[in-house]
């Protein structure tokens, strides 16, 4: 007898698919055996006996091992990817804010520290930190107003802006931020006072604009480094540099912006008429300017109408420096040309003496080690490294770096001589490393014409250190044999 299908104990209609049978899952032809038949040995066996293989498994077994393996694999992947990403980021620039459309006007900003070479000569202890602060403050403003740092050379910035109003806001706040910043010293202000008084002694018609102000009045308008700024707006020849991975801007607009900056005074912001008129009426109402009239710039056939942005109302300035001349920027390297063109002078006069000292001193190091030491010295002196073509070897590149350092150092020395702040300058440069000790030293007079270099080895045969005395009554300096370079400059008292 056969039974099925069933739902809740009741039979249901049988279909081919067994649909509708929810309790026995569609089973049909169910045969119900009495217990007697099930136990009757005479009934043939329908299926052989089966012993199921019982195996216990823990569901979470192996999960910890898999997690650990995944973490290790991810860590190895990061170890490989992070250096690659860092290398890629180092060789790339953030060009998001760079003006790229050739048909859109670009506003270019040039900045420069007033009397920077004289300041390096007058207060060399304060200038490294001051210039580093100068760079940090300007770069924070570039980021704030979404502008683009094209390049720097020494203490000068070239900035490109898509919006002329953003550029004006940037340079206005630049002057205000520099005024409000705590420079931690008054030596820079004191130096500017001396420069103005010296100028007044040389030129009877010159009236110092700040040196004779009352101290309380002075603090309202001046503080720390003085930066002059030039702003111009126009179309540019925009190029992407495959070496720097950044954008650069050429043509008449960059030349005009650079010339505008060059004639200004420290703390002064000059706008060309093109830049000022590029502002909307509403934007011009938000800025205060003083019309300076038409200004004759060198290299420009017609006078250029200028406006002074009154970033700090009440500041007074000397007359524009119309005798200034700068090279054209069209060749793409002229922003550096004032320094690069002077490299030739590293073969004559004071600079030649500096080249001799640096060459003898650092010559005791291997080329790669020497280059690292020179790069550190460039950073300290705020000297931009020259571009390095791929075919130039370390030895040749070291010579290029030494030449550029010599230009900066010799300029500072000559400036000190002109200012008469030193009767005699003494430099001691020392290097230890590779088991041998060497020293080169030289003394320059005010004219910087005389120099004698000497070198010695095994200065301390019984010790691993060398004791070097400066030319003044100063404490000796001990150099351990750690392959580092120490440069000391001392002034005769």
pLDDT exceeds 50 at position 443: no
* Position 242 confidence tier, pLDDT thresholds 50, 70, 90: confident
Instruction: Output the pLDDT for position 345.
Output: 37
Instruction: Output the pLDDT for position 440.
Output: 40
Residue with tokens 């030193």: 422
Q: Domain check: are 417 and 456 in the same one?
A: yes
* Position 462 confidence tier, pLDDT thresholds 50, 70, 90: very low
Structural domain contains residue 33? yes
pLDDT exceeds 60 at position 373: yes
Over residues 187-200, the mean pLDDT reads 93
Structural domain contains residue 360? yes
Q: Domain check: are 173 and 316 in the same one?
A: yes
- How many domains are there within the chain? 3
Instruction: Output the pLDDT for position 59.
Output: 67
Structural domain contains residue 487? yes
Strands 269-272 and 227-234, how do they pair? Answer: parallel
pLDDT exceeds 50 at position 326: yes
Given a contact cutoff of 8 angstroms between Cβ atoms, the answer to whether 290 and 310 are in contact is yes
| Strand order across the 156-161 sheet | 148-153, 156-161, 106-113, 227-234, 269-272, 304-309, 289-295
Q: Kindly provide the b/e burial profile for residues 213-237, where b requires at least 16 CB atoms within 10 angstroms of the residue's own CB.
A: beeeeeeebbbbbbbbbbbbbbebe
* Position 11 confidence tier, pLDDT thresholds 50, 70, 90: low
pLDDT exceeds 70 at position 237: yes
Quickly count: other Cβ atoms within 10 Å of residue 2's Cβ: 8
- Tell me, letter by letter, the H, E, C secondary structure of 47-94: CCCCCCCCCCCCCCCCHHHHHHHHHHHHHHHHHHHHHHHHHHHHCCCC
Give pTM, 2 decimals: 0.58
Instruction: Output the pLDDT for position 25.
Output: 56
Q: Which of 53, 289, 311 is nearest to 174 (CA)?
A: 311
Q: From 314, 335, 356, give the residue that closes a domain.
A: 335
pLDDT exceeds 90 at position 172: yes
Instruction: Output the pLDDT for position 311.
Output: 96
Instruction: Tell me what percent of the residues of the chain surpass a pLDDT of 90.
Output: 39
Instruction: Output the pLDDT for position 298.
Output: 83
What distances in angstroms separate CA 198 from CA 111, 211, 219, 264, one per listed residue? 25, 10, 21, 19
Structural tokens at position 412: 């500072």
Higher pLDDT, 481 or 82: 82
Identity of the highest mean pLDDT range in 27-41, 301-315, 392-406: 301-315
Q: Which long-range contacts (CB under 8 A, 24 or more apart) does 144-147 make?
A: 144/170, 144/173, 145/169, 145/170, 146/97, 147/97, 147/109
Q: Domain check: are 331 and 385 in the same one?
A: no
Q: From 310, 335, 360, give the residue that closes a domain.
A: 335
- Bond before 114 cis per omega within 30 degrees: no
Given a contact cutoff of 8 angstroms between Cβ atoms, the answer to whether 225 and 111 are in contact is no
Query: What is the tens place of the pLDDT at every residue in 139-170?
Result: 999 999 999 999 987 789 999 999 999 999 99
Q: Domain check: are 235 and 310 in the same one?
A: yes
Identity of the highest mean pLDDT range in 170-179, 450-459, 470-479: 170-179
Over residues 381-403, the mean pLDDT reads 74
Over residues 63-79, the mean pLDDT reads 84
Over residues 385-411, the mean pLDDT reads 76
Instruction: Output the pLDDT for position 478.
Output: 36
For residue 2, what are the domain limits?
Answer: 1-44
Higher pLDDT, 399 or 90: 399
Structural domain contains residue 453? yes
Instruction: Output the pLDDT for position 330.
Output: 52
Q: Domain check: are 289 and 247 in the same one?
A: yes
Q: From 312, 335, 358, give the residue that closes a domain.
A: 335
Structural domain contains residue 88? no
Q: Domain check: are 287 and 252 in the same one?
A: yes
Q: Domain check: are 304 and 402 in the same one?
A: no
The partner residues of 105 in beta bridges, in order of sequence, read none
pLDDT exceeds 90 at position 387: no
* Position 355 confidence tier, pLDDT thresholds 50, 70, 90: confident
Q: Is 300 helix (H, G, I), strand (E, B) or coil?
A: coil
CATH code, domain carrying 293: 3.30.70.1230
Query: What is the tens place of the pLDDT at every residue in 18-46?
Result: 555 555 555 666 677 788 887 888 888 77
Q: Domain check: are 302 and 237 in the same one?
A: yes
Q: Domain check: are 186 and 223 in the same one?
A: yes
Structural domain contains residue 473? yes
Q: Domain check: are 364 and 296 in the same one?
A: no
Q: Domain check: are 305 and 354 in the same one?
A: no
Integer Cα distance of 163 and 261 in angstroms: 19
Structural domain contains residue 68? no
Given a contact cutoff of 8 angstroms between Cβ atoms, the answer to whether 425 and 491 are in contact is yes
Q: Domain check: are 253 and 203 in the same one?
A: yes
Structural domain contains residue 390? yes
In eight-state DSSP terms, residue 345 is: G
- 270 Cβ neighbours under 8 A, 6+ residues apart: 228, 229, 230, 231, 260, 261, 263, 264, 292, 306, 307, 308, 309
**Average pLDDT score, the chain:** 76
Instruction: Output the pLDDT for position 380.
Output: 79
What distances in angstroms separate CA 151 from CA 88, 268, 277, 404, one per listed residue? 20, 21, 26, 18
Q: Which of 149, 163, 54, 56 is nearest to 110 (CA)?
A: 149
Determine the distance from the C-alpha atom of residue 407 to the mean position of all C-alpha atoms in its chain, rounded to a whole number.
22
């Amino acid at each position: 007898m056969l039974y099925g299908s069933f739902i809740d104990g009741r039979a249901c209609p049988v279909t081919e698919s067994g649909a509708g049978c929810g309790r026995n899952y569609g089973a049909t032809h169910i045969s119900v055996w009495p217990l007697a038949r099930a136990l009757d040995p005479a009934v043939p066996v329908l299926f052989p006996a089966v012993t199921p293989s019982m195996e216990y498994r823990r569901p979470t077994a192996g999960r910890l091992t898999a997690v650990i393996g995944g973490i290790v694999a991810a860590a190895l992947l990061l170890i490989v990817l992070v250096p690659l990403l860092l290398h890629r980021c180092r060789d790339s620039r953030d060009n998001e804010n760079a003006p790229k459309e050739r048909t859109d006007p670009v506003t270019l900003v040039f900045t420069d520290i007033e009397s920077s070479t004289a300041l390096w000569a007058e207060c060399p202890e304060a200038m490294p930190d001051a210039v580093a602060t100068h760079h940090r403050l300007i770069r924070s403003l570039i980021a704030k107003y979404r502008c683009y740092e094209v390049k720097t050379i020494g203490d000068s910035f070239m900035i490109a802006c898509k919006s002329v109003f953003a550029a004006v806001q940037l340079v206005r706040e630049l002057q205000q931020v520099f005024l409000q910043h705590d420079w931690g010293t008054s030596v820079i202000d004191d130096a500017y006072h001396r420069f103005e008084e010296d100028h007044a002694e040389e030129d009877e018609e010159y009236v110092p604009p700040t040196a004779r102000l009352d101290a309380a009045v002075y603090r309202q308008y001046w503080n720390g480094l003085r930066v002059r700024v030039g702003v111009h707006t126009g179309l540019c020849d925009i190029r992407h540099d495959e070496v720097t991975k950044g954008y650069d801007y050429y043509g008449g607009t960059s030349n005009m912006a650079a010339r505008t900056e060059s004639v200004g005074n420290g703390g002064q912001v000059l706008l060309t008429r093109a830049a000022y008129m590029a502002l909307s009426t509403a934007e011009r109402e938000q800025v205060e300017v003083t019309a300076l009239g038409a200004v004759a710039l060198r290299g420009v056939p017609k006078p250029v109408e200028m406006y002074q942005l009154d970033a700090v109302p009440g500041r007074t300035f000397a007359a524009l420096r119309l005798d200034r001349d700068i090279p054209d920027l069209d060749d793409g390297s002229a922003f550096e040309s004032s320094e690069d063109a002077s490299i030739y002078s590293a073969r004559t006069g004071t600079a030649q003496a500096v080249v001799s000292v640096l060459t003898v001193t650092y010559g005791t190091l291997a080329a790669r080690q020497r280059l690292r030491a020179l790069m550190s010295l460039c950073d300290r002196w705020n000297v931009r490294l020259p571009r390095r073509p791929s075919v130039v070897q370390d030895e040749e590149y070291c010579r290029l770096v030494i030449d550029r350092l010599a230009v900066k150092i010799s300029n500072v020395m000559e400036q000190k001589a002109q200012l008469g702040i030193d009767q005699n300058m003494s430099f001691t440069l020392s290097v230890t490393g590779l088991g041998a000790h060497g020293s080169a030293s030289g003394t320059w007079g005010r004219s910087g014409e005389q120099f004698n270099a000497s070198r010695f080895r095994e200065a301390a045969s019984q010790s691993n250190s060398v004791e070097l005395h400066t030319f003044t009554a100063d404490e000796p300096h001990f150099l351990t044999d750690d392959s580092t370079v120490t440069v000391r400059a001392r002034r005769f008292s």
